[in-house]
Amino acid sequence: AQTRAPADAVTERYDIQTLVGRLRKTKAIGFFTKLALKDQIDDLKDRFRRFHAREEVTPLEQLREHFNLLFMKVITLLQDGDPALGQEIAKGREILWGKLADPGEFARL
């Protein structure tokens, strides 16, 4: 029998769609801030789409910086009003980055 690495188990438990749903419902972030975050997330996803299509000239390291800043912004916004959600999202930082940076994983998002 083949056993999975612990990282695989973490990846399986990290349900992005569920966390997105919780983020939409949380009262810790106001409506207009959620709209602004959605625009920033959509912009970042579009930049990754262009990067993988070789239409974006921004280096991956710079996209990582944008990802980190946006990620920390979300965690900070949740810090006081919904710390459990913030911690849950924070656990998957590298999982999310891996899905964005890998062309195959990105296509499945």
Q: Which two tokens stand for residue 29?
A: 């972030």
Long-range CB pairs of 98-101, under 8 A, 24+ apart, other chains included: 99/16, 100/44, 100/45, 100/48, 100/63, 100/67, 101/48, 101/60, 101/63, 101/64
11-15, 21-25, 85-89: which has the minimum mean pLDDT? 11-15
pLDDT digits (tens, 9 = 90+) for 98-109: 999 999 999 988
Residue among 69, 81, 92, 105 at smallest CA distance from 19: 92
- The dihedral region occupied by 54, where left means phi > 0, alpha psi between -120 and 50, and beta the remainder, is left
pTM over 0.85: no
pLDDT digits (tens, 9 = 90+) for 23-61: 999 999 999 999 999 999 999 999 999 999 999 788 999
